[in-house]
Structure 1
């Protein structure tokens, strides 16, 4: 059997395994190892497995992933995110839809230290949903805005999705983090605008909250300093070129520990829980990274990657035609895969082609992360919606998806903006140079 045929059979086998529910890391590893062995032999394949596992396991840049995960996990378990929301809620309680807008900004702020969408919606949903329910917010709107705003966790830096993409493509993680700032702020503005307009047109959706005095707002303001300080230190050291992403993640993780100690929030139990959760998530991501490199090697030795690049080059699509193809591809994959699965499965094919078409790898990283945001709130998978359903068990799944729909439209507005104005994603990284 020739290498290309082996490649096609391997891809088909992997897709079948994914449809059957086999974990993506395992599916990629099985096909990568078995397929490569069929082409180059068992001895050479086993040597490559050892080298890939060792190389990725000892890669200095990968250390930033567990450290950023730990940063977010400890922030969640110590209740720092709740302090941030309290301040926002008191400032915006008398604005139409203020609690919903506060949830958008709160998710953005929490995203600045967590890097994870699921952690963001789980933490903020637990804090915010009972408050919105208490003040008579429409269940569809409250669950929809929380599920959608949770996606900011993977766009606002430091982002696990950007760190993952940078590791796989050898793109500067620092530049990717900085690139996420403007699209992240735009997303918060668009989402907040959607809440405000809905509540302006139908006031019963989001009743006004309590009225707070200036003193009460100032007292609550102390809740914003931990997240603000940690974010400014991490992003400031990256933007100024003082630290590498790994060093910045170490500083950020240490900062969260110190802040938690100063606020007397750190206990042995929540510290242990943060470490345990960090270990599980990190192992999951590392398994996907290793599986991704094995499948990439398989595609290379079977010449599938070269074949696809040549095929696309012969068709000679415009950059915008290929971007449209990627939008459709990620919408379809989002129906069956999670964020990391979508990224690792497509990059071996997508990245060489976009490079040949002259698409900026930093812009591509932002685009892919926003598309994975869309997948997080799109049926039938919609991971964030399922997480929100676990918190708001009194709201049917269908209603949550209905509540998410206006924000899904908002995501496509953001995608349209970064396609029309690529500098929205690349301007700040250029300023770093």
Structure 2
């Protein structure tokens, strides 16, 4: 049988296993292993499985995943995430939509500490939703800003999305982290602008809260200085060339552990919860990467990616037209595929096209991560929407989805700006490296 035919059969098996609710890592392992065995024989399939498993398990750069996840879990446990929210609320909570703006700001700060969209959505949801409801915020705006703000964990470094992209495309994790800084600030600003526009059109969506005096503002800012300082040390260390991403993740995790110990937040039960959650997230990430590194060689052997590269690059659309087609495909896939699954499934096909067209792989990594963020709040999957639903079970899903659309459009605008002005993403990595 022709390798391309085997490749299409393997893709069909992969999607069938996903429909049967098999975890994406195992679906990639089974279809990839079977495809390699069908094309090159069983010994080659066993060799690929063993070699890729060992390579992923011993890859030093991947140690940033457990360390940053551990750091984010400790930040939530020790109350640093609440401190950040309280400070943001004290400074802007007295304005219309101020609590929603505080939530977005706190999500951005927590994303810079945890690198996880789910952790940001859960933590900020538990902290912010009760406060917004107390001040009669509309459920759509309240849940929408938590779901959208949580997605910033995929873009603002340290981002798990950048780590996965870097491993799959063999790019620099440090460059991708730095490239995400300005787009992360831009998207946060667009979210804040969205809230301002919504509450100006309909003030009842986000009534103003009580005004804090200067003493209270300075007090909350002093309490939040710990988390701000840790973020500054980790991200500043990478930007200044003092630390590698791996070293920065270790320093950040250690500092967060020290703060949690000084705040007497650590006991046997809490440490057990933090460690188990970190292990669960790390194991899931590693399994997905192992599955991807078995599935990707199968795709290469099938010759489907190479054929697609030749076909796309010969289309009479120009590089920009092909890029728009690729991004539109990602947006559509994001409506029913989870972000990491989308990366590992599409990058072996799409990435060679991007390189052939002459686009920067670092810039493309940033815009791909933004499209992944859009998928996190896109119906019908919208993982972050279901995370917020778990925090606010009495809010109908329809209300939450209605609340996220203005933020989804803000993401689309951010994507368009980055396509039009690539230097937004490339200025910092080009000036550093």
TM-score by length of structure 1 reads 0.97
Query: Hey, what does 1:147 align to over in structure 2?
Result: 147
Alignment gaps of 5+ in structure 1: none
- Please say which of residues 152-161 and 15-24 is displaced more in the overlay: 15-24
Between the aligned partners of 1:415 and 1:198, the Cα distance in structure 2 is: 21
Secondary structure, aligned partner of 1:315: coil
> CA 1:250 to 1:29, structure 2 compared with 1: closer, same or farther past 3 Å?
same
Query: Hey, what does 2:180 align to over in structure 1?
Result: 180
2:383 is equivalent to residue 383 of structure 1: yes
Q: CA deviation at 1:309?
A: 1.7
Query: Hey, what does 1:405 align to over in structure 2?
Result: 405
Between the aligned partners of 2:302 and 2:142, the Cα distance in structure 1 is: 49
| C-alpha contact (below 8 Å) 2:117/2:151 kept by paired residues | yes
Q: CA deviation at 1:87?
A: 1.0
- Please say which of residues 326-335 and 47-56 is displaced more in the overlay: 326-335
| C-alpha contact (below 8 Å) 2:312/2:322 kept by paired residues | no
Query: Hey, what does 1:41 align to over in structure 2?
Result: 41
Between the aligned partners of 1:317 and 1:245, the Cα distance in structure 2 is: 39
Alignment gaps of 5+ in structure 2: none
Between the aligned partners of 2:20 and 2:320, the Cα distance in structure 1 is: 34
Query: Hey, what does 1:347 align to over in structure 2?
Result: 347
Between the aligned partners of 2:19 and 2:393, the Cα distance in structure 1 is: 28
Alpha-carbon RMSD across the aligned residues, in angstroms, is 1.3
- Please say which of residues 49-58 and 263-272 is displaced more in the overlay: 263-272
Q: How does 1:14-413 map to 2 (within 5 A)?
A: 14-315=14-315, 317-413=317-413
Between the aligned partners of 2:198 and 2:295, the Cα distance in structure 1 is: 46
Between the aligned partners of 2:184 and 2:325, the Cα distance in structure 1 is: 24
- Please say which of residues 305-314 and 2-11 is displaced more in the overlay: 305-314
Q: CA deviation at 1:327?
A: 2.1
> CA 1:397 to 1:42, structure 2 compared with 1: closer, same or farther past 3 Å?
same
Between the aligned partners of 1:303 and 1:394, the Cα distance in structure 2 is: 50
Between the aligned partners of 2:295 and 2:129, the Cα distance in structure 1 is: 41
Secondary structure, aligned partner of 1:293: helix
| C-alpha contact (below 8 Å) 1:74/1:270 kept by paired residues | no
- Please say which of residues 125-134 and 267-276 is displaced more in the overlay: 267-276
| Residues 163-208 of structure 1: per-residue CA shift (max 9 Å, x gap) | 1111111111111111111111111111111111211222211111
| C-alpha contact (below 8 Å) 1:141/1:403 kept by paired residues | yes
Q: CA deviation at 1:334?
A: 1.3
Secondary structure, aligned partner of 2:314: helix
Secondary structure, aligned partner of 2:395: coil
| Residues 83-128 of structure 1: per-residue CA shift (max 9 Å, x gap) | 1101111111221211111011010011110111111010001000
Between the aligned partners of 1:255 and 1:194, the Cα distance in structure 2 is: 35
Query: Alignment length, in residue pairs?
Result: 433
